[in-house]
Amino acid sequence: MAESTEAPDGDGLICPACGYDLRGPIGDRCPECGLTIDRTQLAQSRLPWTHRARIGRGRAYWRTNWLVLRQAKVLASEIDRPVDFRAAQTFRRMTVLFAFIPLLGLGIWFYVRSLDRSLWQGFPTIVARAPALPGPSGTALGWVLEVCCLAAMAVALWLFLLGAAGVASYFYHPRRLPVVRQNRAVALSYYTCAPVAWLFVPALLVTGGLVIFATPLGEHTRGRLLSAGLLLLAGVTGGSTIIAWWYLPVRLLRPLTGCGWRRAIALALFLPPAWTALAALAALIPLTVVFLSLVILSLG
C-alpha cells in the first residue's frame, strides 16, 4: 500500500487530466491527452505532514490539520501524486491521540468524583442524585480489578476513536479505479479525520465548567452562569467537530474517487450508524471486564 513521496523518474505518477500512467520515458507530454507534464511538481507532496522530518512533527501535523479543514481541494489534488500510506496512518493515529488523552482524562475525573457522592454537592442534576459507585473492595485484588476496569475503558475508547477515524476508507476504493489510485484514495481518506483532533476543546470546556460549578465560585450566580456558558460552548464546539468529522469524508469522496452522488450519499448515511456500532462493540470490552471483576469479587 505504501508509496514513495518522491518519484522524479515518473514511477507512480498519474496524469492529472486523464489518469494515464506516466511511468517510463514518455517525454514532457501525456501520450493520452497531450497535457504538459511537470514531473518534479507531480512528484512532490504538498501535505506538510509528509515533510515532518524537515519542519518538525508538531508543526507539520497542525499545518496539515488546518490545511485539510480549510483547503480540502489541496488534499484532493494529492490523488495525482504518490502518497505515503504509512504517513497517512501515522497522521490518523496522531489525530486520535489528540482526542484520546483529554477524553480519557475527563472520564477518569468523572470516575474519581463518582466514588464519593459528597464531591458532587452543588450539582442539581441526576448526576448528583445517582448512587456512588462501589469502587475497590479495599483489598489488593479489588485495586487490581479496578485498574483492569479503567484500563479496559481506556482501550475501548482508543479502539473506538481509531476505528471511527478510518471507517470511511471502505468507500474510497471502488473497483473501477486502478489499484494505484485506489491505494492513494484510501491513504488520503485517513487525513479526513482531522476534525477529531479538536475534540480536546469541548473536553476541556466541560472540565472547566464542571470544576467551576463544584467550587465555591459555583455557589454564586456569576459562577453558575460561567459554568453554564462553558458547558454550552462545549456542546456547540463538540457538535461542530462531529459534523465536520462527518462532512469531510463525504465531501472529498467524489474528488478522490470520481464516484457519483449515490456513493457519496451512501457514505453520508453509513457513517452515523457505523460509529454507533463501533461504540457498542468497544463498550463490550469494559462491560465484560466489569462483569468478570464482579464475579471474581463475589467468589472471594
Q: Average pLDDT of the chain? A: 81
222 band by pLDDT with thresholds 50, 70 and 90: confident
Which amino acid does the sequence have at 196? V
More confident residue, 98 or 28: 98
Judge whether residue 264 has pLDDT over 60: yes
Q: What is the pLDDT of residue 26?
A: 59
Tell me the torsion sign for CA atoms 60, 62, 64, 67. negative
- CB neighbours of 246 closer than 8 A, spacing ≥ 6? 268, 271, 272
Rounded to an integer, the average pLDDT of 161-172 is 95
- Taking phi over 0 as left and psi of -120 to 50 as alpha, with beta for the rest, 44 belongs to beta
287 band by pLDDT with thresholds 50, 70 and 90: very high
Judge whether residue 300 has pLDDT over 90: no
Q: What is the pLDDT of residue 168?
A: 95
More confident residue, 10 or 97: 97
Judge whether residue 19 has pLDDT over 60: no
- The region of weakest confidence among 55-64, 164-173, 213-222 is 213-222
User: For 30-83, what is each residue's pLDDT tens digit?
Assistant: 777 665 655 555 556 778 898 888 888 999 999 999 999 998 888 998 888 888
More confident residue, 6 or 172: 172
Beta bridge partners of 29: 36
Q: Which residue has the cell 479496578?
A: 146
Q: What is the pLDDT of residue 212?
A: 84
- CB neighbours of 52 closer than 8 A, spacing ≥ 6? 60, 61, 87
Rounded to an integer, the average pLDDT of 77-97 is 92
> Which of 20-24, 234-238, 288-292 is modeled with the greatest confidence?
234-238
Q: What is the pLDDT of residue 210?
A: 82
166 band by pLDDT with thresholds 50, 70 and 90: very high
pTM of the model: 0.78
Residues 80 and 16: beta-carbon distance below 8 Å: yes
Please give the full DSSP string across the chain, using - where no structure is assigned: ----S--TT-TT-B-TTT--B--SS--SB-TTT--B--HHHHHS---GGGGHHHH-HHHHHHHHHHHHHH-HHHHHHGGGS---HHHHHHHHHHHHHHHHHHHHHHHHHHHHHHT-GGGGTT--SHHHHSPPP----SSHHHHHHHHHHHHHHHHHHHHHHHHHTTGGGGGS--TTS-HHHHHHHHHHHGGGGGGGGGGHHHHHHHHHHHHHHHSGGGGSHHHHHHHHHHHHHHHHHHHHHHHHHHHHHHHHHHHHH---HHHHHHHHHHHHHHHHHHHHHHHHHHHHHHHHHHHHHHH-
The Cβ of residue 55 has, within 10 Å, a number of other Cβ atoms equal to 12
User: For 110-161, what is each residue's pLDDT tens digit?
Assistant: 777 766 554 444 444 444 444 444 445 456 777 788 888 889 999 999 999 9
Exposure class string for 232-263: b at 16+ Cβ within 10 A, else e? ebbeebbeebbebbbebbbbbbebbbebeeeb
Q: Using only the alpha carbons of the chain, give its radius of gyration.
A: 24
